[in-house]
Structure 1
């Protein structure tokens, strides 16, 4: 019993230390960086949901145009929110990436519709 009582405070201290470390890492990231990370994640999900990238977990192509549209629209909003926070070059790069997503989305939707009509 005494051994368990000694371990409990040590575990609590380790847990607090890990939590503080996580908080420090989050504090080191500013909001524009977090938004850029979110754009990166959402754009990759959009490519997967368009059906042009393989889902790394299932190793399958899993198109879902409704989710792809949500991801693309959210990326568009986030890019506009970052306009004053990134360089003109980075903003242009983000807009190009968005244009590519939109173009490929439209092509895949059209391809699916034409295959459905055959």
Structure 2
């Protein structure tokens, strides 16, 4: 997430990173997004192959952009906040099991 595409997805990325034991990846994404979103007026979305340009029809000061950032920030500061967005099935899993697929052995 070198350039923010859809800020609303930041909280999902953060949750996935925490669940897979990669919180540093989420922290980096949040740091990168912080530099752009405020400066750009919390746009709805970014355009271009690399997400460098505020979308031509993007509305600014979008609550979901701000909310996605705030939820991600809350989760990275305190991973226990992940339970705010976890599904019921997630609560049954004590520790995620990562297994390799057969295609990894090529």
What TM-score does the superposition give when structure 1 sets the normalisation length?
0.41
Q: Which has the higher contact order (CA 8 A, sep 6+)?
A: 2
Q: By percentage of residues, which structure has more helix?
A: 1
Whichever of the two has the greater Rg, that structure is 1
